[in-house]
Amino acid sequence: MGEIIEILFFMLVIAGIAFAPLGYFIYQYTKDGAKPPFGDFEHHDNHGHSAIDGYVEKVIGMVKGKTSHH
Protein backbone atom coordinates (compact mmCIF):
# COMPACT_ATOMS: atom_id res chain seq x y z
CA MET A 1 0.00 0.00 0.00
CA GLY A 2 2.91 2.33 0.71
CA GLU A 3 4.20 1.97 -2.85
CA ILE A 4 0.86 3.05 -4.29
CA ILE A 5 0.79 6.17 -2.12
CA GLU A 6 4.39 6.92 -3.08
CA ILE A 7 3.62 6.56 -6.79
CA LEU A 8 0.49 8.71 -6.39
CA PHE A 9 2.51 11.38 -4.61
CA PHE A 10 5.15 11.51 -7.36
CA MET A 11 2.47 11.55 -10.06
CA LEU A 12 0.83 14.54 -8.39
CA VAL A 13 4.18 16.34 -8.10
CA ILE A 14 4.97 15.72 -11.77
CA ALA A 15 1.47 16.82 -12.81
CA GLY A 16 1.80 19.97 -10.71
CA ILE A 17 5.10 20.83 -12.35
CA ALA A 18 3.73 20.07 -15.81
CA PHE A 19 0.61 22.20 -15.44
CA ALA A 20 2.13 25.09 -13.46
CA PRO A 21 2.88 27.16 -16.61
CA LEU A 22 -0.69 26.70 -17.80
CA GLY A 23 -2.04 27.79 -14.43
CA TYR A 24 0.20 30.85 -14.43
CA PHE A 25 -0.88 31.71 -17.99
CA ILE A 26 -4.56 31.45 -17.02
CA TYR A 27 -3.93 33.53 -13.89
CA GLN A 28 -2.20 36.29 -15.86
CA TYR A 29 -4.85 36.29 -18.59
CA THR A 30 -7.80 36.51 -16.20
CA LYS A 31 -6.46 39.30 -14.02
CA ASP A 32 -8.54 42.48 -13.99
CA GLY A 33 -7.74 44.68 -16.95
CA ALA A 34 -5.37 42.18 -18.51
CA LYS A 35 -4.66 42.45 -22.21
CA PRO A 36 -4.94 39.35 -24.42
CA PRO A 37 -1.71 37.34 -24.09
CA PHE A 38 -0.77 37.41 -27.77
CA GLY A 39 -2.12 40.84 -28.61
CA ASP A 40 -5.29 41.64 -30.45
CA PHE A 41 -5.03 39.51 -33.57
CA GLU A 42 -8.74 39.85 -34.43
CA HIS A 43 -8.85 42.89 -36.69
CA HIS A 44 -12.53 43.36 -37.28
CA ASP A 45 -12.11 46.56 -39.29
CA ASN A 46 -9.95 45.16 -42.06
CA HIS A 47 -10.74 41.45 -41.98
CA GLY A 48 -11.28 40.30 -45.52
CA HIS A 49 -12.34 36.83 -46.54
CA SER A 50 -9.68 34.75 -48.19
CA ALA A 51 -10.03 31.85 -50.58
CA ILE A 52 -9.50 29.45 -47.69
CA ASP A 53 -12.39 31.04 -45.78
CA GLY A 54 -14.68 30.51 -48.76
CA TYR A 55 -13.55 26.92 -49.22
CA VAL A 56 -14.06 26.11 -45.55
CA GLU A 57 -17.52 27.66 -45.61
CA LYS A 58 -18.43 25.50 -48.64
CA VAL A 59 -17.18 22.34 -46.92
CA ILE A 60 -19.09 23.15 -43.73
CA GLY A 61 -22.22 23.84 -45.79
CA MET A 62 -21.90 20.50 -47.59
CA VAL A 63 -21.41 18.61 -44.32
CA LYS A 64 -24.38 20.37 -42.74
CA GLY A 65 -26.47 19.62 -45.85
CA LYS A 66 -25.62 15.92 -45.77
CA THR A 67 -26.18 15.54 -42.04
CA SER A 68 -29.43 17.51 -41.89
CA HIS A 69 -31.33 15.11 -44.19
CA HIS A 70 -31.33 12.29 -41.63
H or E segment and range at residue 14: helix 2-29
Cα end-to-end span (Å), the chain = 54
pLDDT, one tens digit for every residue, the chain (70 residues): 889 999 999 999 999 999 999 988 888 878 777 666 666 656 555 566 677 888 888 899 888 888 876 5
pLDDT at residue 27, as a whole number: 84
Q: Which pLDDT score, from 0 to 100, does residue 15 have?
A: 96
Predicted local distance difference test score (pLDDT) of residue 21: 92
Q: What is the pLDDT of residue 70?
A: 54
Domain positions in the chain: 1-36
Report the candidate in 46, 49, 45, 28 with the shortest Cα–Cα distance to residue 37.
Answer: 28
